[in-house]
Amino acid sequence: MTNQKRIDENLEEVKNYHKQIMQLSEEDKVDKIYLLSKQLVFIGRLAAIFSEMHRNIYVERKRIYNTEYLKAKQSKAVHAELAIIDIRQREADAYNNYKRWNTAFITTREEINALKYKVRIDLEDGSNR
């Protein structure tokens, strides 16, 4: 399965859970925790996919740089750097996507923990909120 297909499938699941979460009322904390936990799986997968892409592009960039460096007769570093300009941009894009989804993962996890805390407080004081 290609990376793009994996990204599309996981992104579709994230969107589906987001729609369900947005339909809940503020009082549905337990249901929201459940749906956020399900969504967190797919957010984590997206972060992992982009992390893997970043690592693979990094390895490709290093390989091409070293190959071009060894092939060049003079100004070795300049020739090698020119050969990897486009790859650097792809690497930066993959890294930015990884950081975006990793931040979403951490944020969602914190939101789940905050909701759990609110539910615990509601249970202790006997309120239904």
- Round to whole Å and give the CA distance between 18 and 103: 16
**pTM score of the predicted model:** 0.86
pLDDT of residue 27: 87
pLDDT over 80 (residue 10): yes
- Confidence check: pLDDT of 80 > 80: yes
Cα–Cα dist 21/42, whole Å:
15
pLDDT of residue 128: 56
* % of the chain surpassing 70 pLDDT: 98
Residue ranges covered by each domain of the chain = 3-124
pLDDT in tens, 21-39: 999 998 899 999 999 999 9
Per-residue pLDDT, 123: 85
For residues 94-117, give the mean pLDDT: 96
Is 60 exceeded by the pLDDT of residue 129?
A: no
pLDDT, position 127: 63
What pLDDT, on the 0 to 100 scale, is given for residue 108? Answer: 97
> How far is the first Cα of the chain from the last one, in angstroms, to the nearest whole number?
44
* Mean pLDDT, residues 56-66 taken together: 96
Supply the DSSP string of 6-21, one letter for each residue: HHHHHHHHHHHHHHHH
pLDDT of residue 122: 85
